[in-house]
Amino acid sequence: MATSGVPVQQGDAAWLALLRHREIQFAFPDAPAISPVPQWLRALLNFLHNHARLFEIGGWSLLAAAGLALGYFLVRHLLRRGWAQADNYPVRPMPA
């Protein structure tokens, strides 16, 4: 900027002009105070914190059950359809 011997550019001059008028740039009203957390929310958060390990075990169990069910249905579908159905195409084209 101007103090380092570099000429002041237009943007720098505007910035310095804003800094000279601090009352219009930095006179913000105080933010309202944060309202206290309701009692029911504190109780819910406390319950969830105390039972977090059970929720974690339950979530992983549900994920494992969903994976096993998906695997079961996939294997059942493949066994019913056959492993190499794509190789058994008809020799003659089907009539239209």
Q: What is the pTM of this model?
A: 0.49
Q: How confident is the model at residue 88 (pLDDT cuts 50, 70, 90)?
A: low
List, for residues 38-66, the tens digit of each pLDDT value.
999 999 999 999 999 999 999 999 999 99
Q: How far is CA 23 from CA 13, 14, 17, 18, 71, in A?
A: 18, 16, 12, 10, 68
Q: How far is CA 29 from CA 19, 22, 89, in A?
A: 19, 14, 78
List, for residues 67-79, the tens digit of each pLDDT value.
999 999 999 998 8
